[in-house]
Amino acid sequence: MALRICVTGAAGQVGKVISRAAANKGHTVFGVDLPPGPGPDSADSQRGSYSYQQLDVCDIGGLRRYVEDNKCDAMVHMAAVLNNPNRTIKGKEWTESDIHTINTTMSYNILRVSADLGIKRVVQASSVNAIGMLQPVAVSHGTVLKRSPVGSDPPTFDYFPLDEKHPFRPQAAYDLSKQICEVQADAFARKYPDMRIASMRYHWVVEPSLLSADALHRRGGEPKDLWGYISEADTAAATLLGLTAPEQTFPAGHEAFFIVAPTQHQQSSTSALIDQWYPQSTRRKQWRGNEGLYDCSKAEKLLGWTAKVSFPWTVPSP
C-alpha cells in the first residue's frame, strides 16, 4: 500500500536517504526541515513523489497545517538537535537545555499532530544513546567547563549483547531527550490504542565514503559507542518497515528497536574489547570474531528487518 509520508528532518543526511528510499518504493513524501531545501532528488520532485516545505517542527500549528493539507497518513520523524552544545545556529548558541527542550518538543509535536489527524503509523528517531552513553558537558555562560576525554569514562552496561530491556541511565541532555521521546511514545500509545509507533535506536549512520572495513577500522571509535554503526541503506529499510510491517508481527502500540549492524567496526576480537573495557559486564553469549554488542533480534522478529551491510572479521590462523 502506497503511503503519504511526512518526513521531518528531510534535509539532513538520514532524512534524505529515507525520503529517497520511500519515493523509490512508490510512496509520496512530504519533507519538512529548517533549511530552505532542496529535496533529495530532482527526479523525485519532477514525478510528484516528493515535495518539501521549510518548516520548524517546534511550530505545531504550522506542522499540523502542512500534514493535514497534504493528507499524510504516515509520519517519520528524523529532525533532531545532536549532542553538540555551543554550536551557533541561526545566530543563537545552542546549549544542553536547548538540545533537551527542542528534541522533546519536536517528538511531542509529531505525536500530537499524528494523533489529532488520525495518523496511525509513526516512526521516530530515537538513538542507542537513549540508554545512556554520552558523557555530559558542563557549561557556564557559554564556556565548556569539563569534557571527559575520549574513552576515559565509559558508561555502565549490565550485560552484553545489549537489548531493548537494558536499563536507562542517561546523563547528557541528548541521551535524556531520547529516553523522554520514547516515554512520550508510550503515553500516546496508551491514550490512542490504534496508533503504532516505532522508536528506532539507530547507531552511527555511516555515509558511503566511509562504508568499508578499512575506513571504519581506521576511524577507531570510542568504547562508549561499543564500536557500532549502520549503513544508510539498512537505516532506510528499517525505517520503512516500521511503517509497513504487518500488524500480525507488529501490532498497535509502541516499541523501541536497536538498529545496528551485526558486527562492530573494528577488525579485531570483540571478546578482547570486552575484556579491556567492560570486564564487569555479564556476557550472555560467546563472541566469534568481531560480532557486535547489540541484539537486534526484536527488529527481526517484529519488523522482519536484518542489516545487510556489515564487515565480518575472523581471528587469523596462527
pTM for this entry: 0.91
Residue 317 in this model has a pLDDT that exceeds 70: no
DSSP state of 208: G
**Interval 174-233: pLDDT, tens:** 999 999 999 999 999 999 999 999 999 999 999 999 999 999 999 887 888 999 999 999
Residue type, 50: Y
Residue 5: strand pairing partners: 29, 74
Residue 155 in this model has a pLDDT that exceeds 80: yes
From 84-88, 118-122, 126-130, 305-309, the region with the lowest mean pLDDT: 84-88
Residue 148 in this model has a pLDDT that exceeds 80: no
Please answer whether residues 139 and 156 qualify as being in contact, where contact means their C-beta atoms are separated by less than 8 angstroms: no
Highest-confidence range of 85-94, 125-134, 235-244, by mean pLDDT? 235-244
Quote the cell numbers at residue 20. 529517497
**CA gap 125, 110 in Å, rounded:** 12
pLDDT score of 8: 98
User: What is the average pLDDT value for the chain, to the nearest integer?
Assistant: 89
pLDDT score of 95: 84
Phi/psi-derived region of residue 226, left when phi > 0, alpha when psi is between -120 and 50, beta in every other case: left
